[in-house]
């Protein structure tokens, strides 16, 4: 086991009252591989500095704006190793570009950017600069998702025929964006969020999860979007039919108005010889059903799991792991990928198969295709002769 000093983490966004920044802070701490040392935490400079002080940061490394963070950190001997971008979607591209141009590695929230143009430019920049750009597709951090991925690749269910993936949420079932909910306000503003409402916010997670586990590449899609809450400018429900290369089919549902679902991410993969099912509210279990066999529960922590799942497991079976550990696995993976690159060696399993800029670009391309499909006037809708 290699031991070395923790990597220095900077953060943009994620200040007082923000959602995902705190998850990044908790997750990055879990394995001692990162230490939060600098930040421009808020769009309001003063609030950001107050927040940094509450986090115990060196006041000299608490910045009013990300541009100040870049200018000051570049000149430091102990400069941050990477910066996490935890801001609304439309700011990801300018912030990431400025960081990469200044030579920093980046950990960026999904969707990678708010527009396809920006996603293409950012992926190109990441590739050409050689900087590390990790994307926090949370669900690819779960050990049992990796287990499913390994088993599908091993051929345990044969060729995949169909994939059902869904991400239903209920929190936007009413117009909370009009009642002061900050997160809902920018998510329903096309300029800040991008063109895809539910599909950009959570459909991107589902799309990544399905492709990650099956290894299938999307060939084409057709989509039907709906906005159920009056006055909302973006979709809050999306149904997407997908055709994968090689003939497999997929069905993706994302919804922000699915009452009764707090965070109901569910993946079902059906192959010629069996199926796998994974549900994020029971993340320690993978359900395997072989053709003409019995339903089997594969549990996290078991001795016979793959190296990929084991590398992402901290506690024995029966001591549940969940969301924070999955997010921490992404951070551990990013640290390992960055350190392996510094050491010019292959990363250990935890640093392999982490979501990168190209995965982020694919997610944004998916969203754009979904919205294009929905808006296309030649979308075939056939009314049956009897209804």
Radius of gyration of the chain (CA): 21
Distance CA 330, CA 220 (A): 29
Judged by CB, which is closer to ligand NAI: 74, or 376?
Answer: 74
Choices 10-18, 210-218, 287-295, 379-387 (CB under 6 A): range interacting with ligand NAI: 10-18
Is 18 among the residues that bind ligand NAI (CB under 6 A)? yes
Is 88 among the residues that bind ligand NAI (CB under 6 A)? yes
Structure tokens at 273: 């010889």
Is 83 among the residues that bind ligand NAI (CB under 6 A)? no
Q: Which of residues 277-336 bind ligand NAI (CB under 6 A)?
A: none
Distance CA 132, CA 129 (A): 9
Torsions phi, psi of 295, nearest 5? -65, 130
Could you say which of 9, 70, 80, 87 contacts ligand NAI (CB under 6 A)? Answer: 87
Q: Residues for the chain: how many in total?
A: 387
Closest distance to ligand NAI from the beta carbon of 199 (Å): 12
Could you say which of 13, 134, 271, 355 contacts ligand NAI (CB under 6 A)? Answer: 13
Residues 186-205, one symbol each (x = binds ligand NAI by CB under 6 A, - = not), give x--------------x----
Distance CA 126, CA 132 (A): 7
| Spatial contact of 273 and 188, defined as CB atoms under 8 Å apart | no
Could you say which of 89, 188, 256, 284 contacts ligand NAI (CB under 6 A)? Answer: 89
> What contacts 112, CB < 8 A, 6 or more positions away?
92, 118, 119, 122, 123, 135, 357, 360, 361, 363, 364
Strands 34-40 and 7-13: parallel
Closest distance to ligand NAI from the beta carbon of 252 (Å): 17
Q: Which residue has tokens 């209804």?
A: 387
Could you say which of 74, 182, 295, 297 contacts ligand NAI (CB under 6 A)? Answer: 182
Could you say which of 110, 195, 310, 362 contacts ligand NAI (CB under 6 A)? Answer: 110
Judged by CB, which is closer to ligand NAI: 183, or 373?
Answer: 183
| Spatial contact of 289 and 274, defined as CB atoms under 8 Å apart | yes
Distance CA 99, CA 103 (A): 6
* DSSP code string of 160-171: EEEEEEEEE--T
Is 12 among the residues that bind ligand NAI (CB under 6 A)? yes
Closest distance to ligand NAI from the beta carbon of 238 (Å): 15
Residues 39-68, one symbol each (x = binds ligand NAI by CB under 6 A, - = not), give -x-xx----------------------x--
Judged by CB, which is closer to ligand NAI: 222, or 263?
Answer: 263
Q: Which of residues 211-250 bind ligand NAI (CB under 6 A)?
A: none
Residues 346-375, one symbol each (x = binds ligand NAI by CB under 6 A, - = not), give ------------------------------
Q: Which residue has tokens 């295709």?
A: 369
Distance CA 256, CA 238 (A): 9
Sign of CA dihedral 57, 87, 338, 284: positive
Which residues of the shown chain bind ligand NAI in the complex (CB under 6 A)? 12-15, 18-21, 40, 42-43, 66, 86-89, 91, 109-110, 136, 138, 182-183, 186, 201
């Amino acid at each position: 086991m290699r031991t070395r000093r923790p990597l220095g983490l900077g953060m943009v966004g994620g200040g007082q009252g923000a959602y995902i920044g705190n998850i990044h802070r908790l997750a990055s701490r879990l394995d001692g591989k990162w230490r939060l040392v600098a930040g421009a935490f808020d769009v309001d400079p003063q609030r950001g500095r107050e927040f940094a002080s509450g986090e115990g940061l060196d006041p000299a490394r608490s910045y009013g704006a990300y541009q100040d963070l870049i200018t000051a950190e570049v000149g430091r001997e102990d400069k941050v190793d990477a910066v996490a971008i935890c801001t609304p979607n439309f700011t990801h591209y300018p912030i990431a570009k400025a960081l990469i141009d200044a030579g920093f590695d980046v950990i960026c929230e999904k969707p990678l950017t708010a527009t396809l143009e920006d996603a293409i430019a950012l992926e190109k920049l990441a590739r050409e600069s050689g900087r590390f750009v990790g994307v926090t597709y949370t669900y690819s951090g779960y050990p049992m998702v990796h287990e499913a991925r390994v088993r599908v690749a091993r051929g345990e269910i044969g060729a995949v025929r169909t994939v059902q993936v869904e991400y239903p949420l209920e929190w936007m079932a009413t117009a909370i964006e009009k009642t002061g909910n900050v997160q809902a306000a920018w998510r329903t503003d096309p300029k800040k969020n991008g063109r895809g409402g539910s599909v950009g916010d959570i459909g991107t997670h589902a799309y990544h999860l399905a492709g990650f586990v099956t290894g299938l590449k999307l060939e084409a899609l057709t989509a039907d979007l709906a906005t159920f809450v009056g006055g909302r400018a973006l979709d809050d429900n999306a149904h997407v039919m997908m055709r994968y290369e090689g003939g497999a089919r997929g069905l993706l549902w994302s919804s922000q108005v699915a009452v009764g679902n707090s965070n109901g991410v569910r993946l079902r993969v059906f192959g010629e010889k069996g199926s796998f099912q994974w549900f994020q509210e029971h993340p320690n279990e993978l359900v395997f059903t072989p053709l003409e066999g019995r339903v089997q529960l594969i549990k996290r922590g078991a001795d016979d799991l793959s190296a990929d799942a084991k590398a992402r497991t901290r506690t024995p079976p029966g001591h549940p792991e969940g969301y924070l550990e999955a997010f921490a696995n992404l951070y551990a993976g990013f640290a390992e990928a960055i350190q392996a690159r510094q050491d010019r060696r292959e990363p250990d399993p935890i640093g392999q198969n982490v979501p990168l800029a190209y995965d982020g670009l694919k997610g944004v391309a998916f969203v754009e295709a979904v919205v294009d499909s929905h808006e296309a006037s030649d979308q075939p809708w056939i009314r049956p002769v009897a209804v």
